[in-house]
Each structure stands twice: as structure tokens, then as C-alpha cells.
Amino acid sequence: MTDRQNIAAWLPAVGAKLEVRPASTPEPGHGELLVQTKAVAIQPAEYKIQDGVLPFPLTYPTIIGLCFAGTVVKIGPGVTRFQVGDRVVTNSAGTLRNDARFGALQRYALTTQQLTAKIGNASFEKAAALASNLYGAISALTLHLHLEKPSSTPDPLNKSKKILVWGASSSFGASAVQIAASAGYFVVGVASGSNAELVKSLGASEFVDRTQVSATDALIALGPFHAVLAAADSARDQDTIGAVLAAQGGGSFLSTMGVRAGVTLPDGVTGIFAQFLDDYLDPANADFTRWVWWEFLEQKLAGDEMHALPTRVLGGLSHAQEAWDLLRQGKTSAERLIIQPNVE
Ligand SMILES: NC(=O)c1ccc[n+]([C@@H]2O[C@H](COP(=O)([O-])OP(=O)(O)OC[C@H]3O[C@@H](n4cnc5c(N)ncnc54)[C@H](OP(=O)(O)O)[C@@H]3O)[C@@H](O)[C@H]2O)c1
């Protein structure tokens, strides 16, 4: 039952500020759920769309936001796995669909059952924070870097394979460190020194402070690396990663934002980009998608077996612009900002 007028944080155009105003309440179609949004995990891609840095071809005004937790209030035909009243977390992929009805920053949003998990007794905030990048980290590590999945009995040989996670205190990196460590790999995490203990507590065997001039030498000494993931990085970091890979004879790294303009990588070093949500919308990956959302994530939430970054709740939709501004200004470290669309 939707007993409230739907309200959304509308993005009127690239470069414009968010405006909170009414929206019509969407009707779920085939395989879709209508969810009352309780916690939206705010992600960097959102302010980058506002800035025009991520050139998604969107029809404006639109409603942004992908990952949210809440309660199912209506199901469409063909929904088999969820019912009204279920507590869930989901990725609506609204930006890729170019469909404001799937935007997270509204009181009632649509999503699909394929990219939805039940959250049991987990808090909406933790579920949204964890799910916001777990999906990307696991497809990065397994589909793109070809590492093994987490296992209760990992191959002992994996301990001899070193995995470099640059940006290990980011939401994406924190998930990646935990996933790689639970697959038995030797994880080296890179972040600001203040986050050393956090990164080690997630399962990294070694930590390198990215702000130290000695970081490059320290990483070269720790290598060679079997796989390199730049979960959060900059052009300058990519020069360092290039030098580390060159020192081990070449190789490639996967960057969540791709090789930056102006970066020249050494001979034998390449940078790869992937849009991880695409992996989940590709019918060829249907089994993988089902495993991630209906098994792995649900088990991790039910058993409280994975750490989400600490959450900071800013308030209702009127705080969404503030959340985007904080991310844009780099004023968040090792935390996930949360908006609660139904509190106002
Ligand atoms: N390609 C895709 O499909 C995809 C999907 C999801 C996310 N992304 C991208 O992945 C990146 C990470 O997203 P997120 O949600 O995890 O971000 P986030 O948690 O908001 O990132 C904040 C963290 O980034 C770290 N950081 C900032 N600049 C850094 C740098 N130059 N080197 C290393 N760490 C740095 C900071 O760590 P310290 O304070 O410890 O320095 C901070 O803790 C974003 O650029 C996002 O747009 C891409």
C-alpha cells in the first residue's frame, strides 16, 4: 500500500541543483517491484552525472540513485521470489534504463526482482551501504580479473597470489578487500594512513599509505601482483600503479573510472575499464546475477558476515544535494552517506 504522496529529488538538467517535488507513484510491470525507499546509499556516480562527467544519455528532468533498501509495497506480474512486506535491498539500474521511475531518490521507486535481495533483520542502512558496491566488486574480481569466488575452503595456493586493491577504504575497495581475502588471496590494500586499521580489519594482509612518497617503492617491494584493482584512484595514482606493474615486467589493472586523460602508461602496462552494472543486465550472466543477489548477498546479510563501511545518515530528500556536494568535495572517507526518503 502506498499511503503517501510520492516525492522525489528531481535533477532538472546537467549542472542544475536537485529540486524536491512531487512525482507520480509508479506501477510495477512484469518482474518489477514497487519499494518504499527507507535508505538510499549515495554514490559518486550521482554527482558525476550532475556535473556532466558521466555522459549518460538521460531524459531530464530525471531521478537519480541506484541502490536502496526498503519494503516491497506492490509486485508486478511474474514476480515469483518476493511479496508485499518483504524487507529488501536492490539496485534499480535506473540510470542505464533512462527511466525516472527507477530512480532511488524518491519515496516509492521501481526495481526488478533480478537485482534484489532479502535483507532479513539487517538494518536498511547497512544493507544499502553493503549492496551499493558489493555487486561491482564481485564482478570486477571474478568476471574481469578472473579470480576465484569466496569460499569456506579456498584453494591454499591462492595465499601465494597477491592482489593489489588501490582505494581500499572506498566502499568499492572495502568490498573488494573482503571478497578477495575470503577467496584466500593475499591482499595488499592502499588508502590514506588514517584508514590502515580499517583496511586490515577487512582482511588485507599488508597496507600501504597512498599519501607517502615511499608508496611506490613499498608496493614494488611487495609485488609481483597477480591482479590489480583500482577501486578509487586518480591520474597520479595511475602513474604509480603503472610504475609498480612495469617493475614486475608489465601487466594490466582494472580501474573503476578507466585510464584518466593525460596518463601515459609504461610499455607493457594497460588499464582496463568496465561498467559493472552492465554485467548484471547481460542475460548471458543470468546465473551469476542470481548467485550474487539471491545467494551470496542474502547469506552475507543474514549471517552478518561482511562489513559495510560506517554509514552517516544525512536525513530526507532535502539533504540529497548536500550528500552529493560532500562526495564531490572529497569530504567523505571510509563511510557511506545515506538519505532516508521517507523521513520527511
Ligand atoms: N565502473 C563502474 O561500474 C563503477 C561502479 C561503482 C563505482 N564506480 C566508481 O568507483 C569509485 C569508488 O566508488 P565508491 O562508491 O567506492 O567511492 P567512495 O566510497 O565514496 O570513495 C571515497 C573513498 O575514496 C578514497 N579515495 C579518494 N581518492 C582516492 C585516490 N586518489 N586513491 C585512492 N583512494 C582514494 C578515499 O580513501 P582515503 O580517505 O582512505 O584516501 C575515500 O575513503 C568512484 O569513482 C565511482 O564512481 C565505478
pLDDT tens, 107-153?
999 999 999 999 999 999 999 999 999 999 999 999 999 999 999 99
Q: Are residues 141 and 257 in the same domain?
A: yes
Give me ligand 1 centre to Cα 231, in Å. 6
Question: For residue 101, what are the domain limits?
Answer: 7-122+304-339
Which residue, chain included where needed, has cell 526482482?
Answer: 113
Ligand 1 atom closest to Cα of residue 211: 41
Domain match, 67 and 140 both: no
333 Cβ below 6 A of ligand 1: yes
146 and 225 co-located in one domain: yes
**Inside any domain, residue 105:** yes
How far is it, in rounded angstroms, from Cα 212 to Cα 321? Answer: 33
Query: Same structural domain for residues 93 and 206?
Result: no
Q: What percent of the chain has pLDDT over 90?
A: 98
What are 74-119's pLDDT values in tens digits? Answer: 999 999 999 999 999 999 999 999 999 999 999 999 999 999 999 9
In short, whether 275's Cβ falls inside 6 Å of ligand 1 is yes
Matching residue, cell 610499455: 267
Domain identity same for 149 and 183: yes
297 occurs within a structural domain: no
Kindly report, residue by residue over 273-308, the tens digit of the pLDDT: 999 999 999 999 999 999 999 999 999 999 999 999
Read off the pLDDT of residues 259-279 as tens digits, 9 standing for 90 and up.
Answer: 999 999 999 999 999 999 999
Report the residue among 54, 115, 170 best suited for mutation to probe ligand 1: largest number of ligand atoms under 8 A from its CB. Answer: 170
Residue ID of nearest Cα to ligand 1 atom 27: 232
pLDDT at 1: 66
Tell me if the pTM is above 0.85. yes
Q: How far is CA 288 from CA 108, 156, 228, 293, 312, in A?
A: 28, 24, 22, 9, 31
Q: Is residue 210 part of a domain?
A: yes
Confidence category of residue 3, pLDDT binned at 50, 70, 90: confident
In a domain, 47, yes or no: yes
How far from the centroid of its chain's Cα atoms is residue 20's Cα? 25
Say yes or no to pLDDT of 2 above 90.
no
Same domain, 99 and 143: no
Number of domains into which the chain is organized? 2
**Domain check: are 146 and 117 in the same one?**
no
> Are residues 117 and 34 part of one domain?
yes
- 48, 145, 172: residue to mutate for ligand 1 pocket, most atoms within 8 A of CB: 172
CATH assignment at residue 315: 3.90.180.10
If DSSP codes are grouped into helix, strand and coil, which group holds residue 92?
coil
When pLDDT is averaged across residues 180-207 and rounded to a whole number, the result is 98
- Whole-angstrom Cα distance, residue 218 to residue 212? 10
Q: Are 241 and 234 in contact (CB under 8 A)?
A: no
Residue 128 within a domain: no
Q: Is residue 190 part of a domain?
A: yes
